[in-house]
Chains A and B, each alone.
Chain A
Amino acid sequence: MSTIAQKRGFASTVWDYLTTVDHKKIAILYLIAGGIFFLMGGVEAMMIRAQLAVPNNDFVSAGLFNELLTMHGTTMIFLAAMPLLLAFMNAIMPLQIGARDVAFPFVNALGFWLFFFGGLFLNLSWFLGGAPDAGWTSYASLSLASEGHGIDFYALGLQISGFGTLMGGINFLVTIINMRAPGMTYMRMPLFTWTTFVASALILFAFPPLTASIFMLTFDRMFGANFFNVAAGGNTIIWEHFFWIFGHPEVYILILPAFGIFSEIFSTFSRKRLFGYSSMVFATVLIGFLGFMVWAHHMFTVGLGPVANAIFAVATMAIAVPTGIKIFNWLLTIWGGSIKFTVPMLYAVAFIPSFVAGGVTGVMQAVAPADYQYHDSYFIVAHFHYVIVGGVVFALLAGTHFYWPKMFGTMLSEKIGKFTFVFFFIGFHLTFFVQHFLGLMGMPRRVWTFLPGQGLDTGNLVSSIGAAFMAVGVISLLINVVITSVKNERVGNDPWEDGRTLEWAISSPAPFYNFKQLPLVRGLDAYWLEKMEGKTTLTPAEPIGDIHMPNSSFVPFVISLGLFIAAFGAMYHVDDKAWALPVLIGGLVITFGAMIYRSLKDDHGFHIHKEELMEENDDKGVKA
């Protein structure tokens, strides 16, 4: 194996990505797959807004509308936002802690392919008799009554992709605990690494309830169980509890890495150390902890009783405190800084007021009696889009611009980036701000159409126009990506010139072994420290030596493919199709066969030899 890049054909590149276990390539896979699902979720959103643009519209049928809103929510949360965050975690976190890869590269690849096949399975429902139509929450009584295979696609697809996410979370935890470079103590870890760590812990604890509840749903729908069937002695409320025990931490799984990305951006472009670093870490951990104590605030109107409602209301309001700590820390990071308004910084600055607006409506809803008014209205829709778009999507767009050079070695155009920002920012507020008032005026969420002359016409039209603005923003980002890739102007190690953390000390994109010599970390913002002492490279912690690397493997793809095939068998088993059971068994045989192959066949990886690494030094005249 040579370390020198060679010209490759298209097929060999595809094969390379199908078998890769390199965290940087898996990050690119996550970015592409997550990006495609993001576009699909966006198209669904545009169709929803087109339907609601004018009263009494019949652009889509009521049934199709239910499918669109369900798939929009499910796709955006599970298949777009989370994988895109996993893309940045994969690409950046190992570099930030000075590691050569994640702890389990094979499992990392397996996690991606499970997510991909799960998402593919879910979206095939469009072509195979109808998508799920019970909302992304898929409340049990409704989802059990849903006809066709839509909910089966939801249950099996999310189960498979959930396995992948769980593996990703465990992998990051082990990586951060065990693979930090010498001197990289916990309290020297960059904030994005910290938020990755806490979000991974949340994944570890939040996904098992989802897995359990989806198993129960699967068995209720496909194998004749009655967990949620009240008529047969089950309890439909259990689904809601399980779903939100997962679902509430899930929103923190999304927002915490977003906070991490913004923390990096604020300190980089204010050219200041992050204000209140230790309180930021404390607030992150506290949010993660409290995130598990508040799930029932999604269920105030279920009838839990005043005591339970009061407890969960107070716990919910408590979360505003650590979040407030973060907001003030960001403001004080910018305060007095030498600020550079690059595209990532624009998103970061726009994020603060947008997210605070969403947070304030969140505290309003935490007041349980008031929530009876807001519940299931467009006010809720406005609230969670303010926190998820204003928080997570802004972070994803900011992160795309900020980390693009580190992932691909080219800079996205700042000019087009600003165009994207302006359209997306204006469109976002245009779409969702007015929805607060639509909700307060009584427009229920998930409604297919509305009557004219009830004061809802103008607001809905404004909202739909805003959605078009956001679409223009996203399209301009795609154009930006194409132009940048075609131009292919390579950049150096530290293209933003103000990089503070380890990833900016190595080439863009990083060499496949990341660090020739593991760096010695001497404080927070390790690379910045070195730069302040007039150096351009990191202090090495070890002499140049052989580097042990894992071999590529096609097995993760096969394991995931097996589950994908088995899912079809499980689903059509209900229809008494003769081929269903053999397909179910066949798929599982493929999966477990591939696992056995992996277990029995020794794969020791390979070494990059010291001489090769030294040679490369001489060739390029630069040090890693």
Chain B
Amino acid sequence: MVNNQSNSNNPRLNYDYRRKKNAEGMRIQVATFTLMIFFTVVSFVAVAADFSKWFVVPFILLLAVVQVGFQLYYFMHMSEKGHEAPSLFMWSGVTIAFVTVLAFMTIIWW
């Protein structure tokens, strides 16, 4: 129960609440983990099934983006309190990188 510390010495404080919260967290983690394995399998299938590369490449990239989201928000707990500043900076960085790549794709290497 490291993710929800309390500043009280009493180990029984909010015990039921924390227990419930952790159980819920565990359930979500298992669910996302299953989904992530599923995504990986789907990507391999997409390549193995010999679809057009105009479908396969964007499709795998899309799955990758979703995976990164899962990783950050469910495994690395970015959705929890106290992660506002890191998430702000990560999203700013993503935005800037995206704009840069978009501009390079459209006006240099078009």
- Chain A residues packing against B (C-beta within 8 Å): 173, 177, 201, 204-205, 209, 235, 237-238, 241, 245, 289, 292-293, 296, 304-305, 308
Asked if B108 contacts A201 (CB within 8 A), the reply is no
Asked if B107 contacts A293 (CB within 8 A), the reply is no
Count of A-B residue pairs with CB < 8 Å:
28
> How many angstroms between the C-alpha atoms of A201 and B92 in the bound complex?
9
Interface residues of B in 70-103 (CB under 8 A from A): 85, 89, 92-93, 96, 99-100, 103
B44 at the interface (CB under 8 A from A): no
Which residues of chain B come closer than 8 Å to A237, judged between CB atoms? 108
Known A-B contacts A177-B85, A235-B108; the reply to A296 vs B96 at CB < 8 A is no
Contact of B108 among A205, A209, A238 (CB under 8 A): A238
Asked if B92 contacts A205 (CB within 8 A), the reply is yes
Of listed B93, B99, B103, B108, residue having the most chain A CB within 10 A: B103
- Subset of 7 A-B contacts with CB under 8 Å: A177-B85, A201-B89, A201-B92, A235-B108, A241-B108, A292-B96, A296-B107
Closest Cβ neighbor of A289 among chain B residues: B92
B4 at the interface (CB under 8 A from A): no
Chain B interface main SS type: helix
Which residues of chain A come closer than 8 Å to B108, judged between CB atoms? 235, 237-238, 241
Closest Cβ neighbor of B95 among chain A residues: A292
Closest Cβ neighbor of B110 among chain A residues: A305
B51 at the interface (CB under 8 A from A): no
Closest Cβ neighbor of B109 among chain A residues: A235
B106 at the interface (CB under 8 A from A): yes
Known A-B contacts A235-B108, A296-B107, A308-B107; the reply to A204 vs B89 at CB < 8 A is yes
B59 at the interface (CB under 8 A from A): no
> How many angstroms between the C-alpha atoms of A437 and B1 in the bound complex?
70
Known A-B contacts A201-B89, A204-B89, A205-B93; the reply to A308 vs B106 at CB < 8 A is yes
Contact of B99 among A173, A235, A292 (CB under 8 A): A292
B104 at the interface (CB under 8 A from A): yes
- Shortest Cβ distance from residue A502 to the other chain B in the assembled complex, whole angstroms: 22
Task: List the 7 closest pairs (A to B, CB-CB), nearest first.
Answer: A308-B107, A177-B85, A304-B107, A292-B96, A205-B96, A237-B108, A245-B100
Known A-B contacts A204-B89, A205-B93; the reply to A241 vs B104 at CB < 8 A is yes
Which residues of chain B come closer than 8 Å to A304, judged between CB atoms? 107
Which residues of chain A come closer than 8 Å to B92, judged between CB atoms? 201, 205, 289
Which residues of chain B come closer than 8 Å to A245, judged between CB atoms? 100
> How many angstroms between the C-alpha atoms of A238 and B100 in the bound complex?
11
